[in-house]
Amino acid sequence: MTIVRNLTPAQVSMALGKGTCDLIDVREPDEFAAARIPGAVSMPLSSFSVADIPQETGRLTVISCAAGGRSMRAAEQCARAGLTVFNLTGGLSAWADAGLRVERER
């Protein structure tokens, strides 16, 4: 069994604020267009490829989705391939519940 470490919305927000985090959102394009965490990059799980995941020294790679299920599946794929990635606990829902900024479709 592959172990993926979870990060809280506060931990991810701090890393994004410092510019030390790549945030990958694996929700589908329509979900991403409707609402997203500022700075997130869309890589839908339906066409997800571990080869596309950035792995820069000194940066965290965090995967998110709506509630944490899809992002954990993607993170486990990455971990099995030898990449170090983290899962955003609770996804966009937890992020919004924490009062953090969400960009929404206008």
Other residues' Cβ atoms within 10 Å of the Cβ of residue 77: 19
pTM attached to this predicted model: 0.94
Q: Name the domain count of the chain.
A: 1
Q: What percentage of the chain carries pLDDT values higher than 90?
A: 91
> Could you please report the per-residue DSSP string of 13-72?
HHHHHHT-EEEEE-S-HHHHHHEE-TT-EE--GGG--GGGS---TT-EEEEE-SSSHHHH
What pLDDT score was predicted for residue 57? Answer: 87
Q: How far apart are CA 72 and CA 89, in angstroms?
A: 9
Domain containing 86 — which CATH number?
3.40.250.10
Looking only at the bridges linking them, the beta strands covering 103-104 and 35-36 are antiparallel
What pLDDT score was predicted for residue 71? Answer: 97
Q: Which domain holds residue 22?
A: 5-104
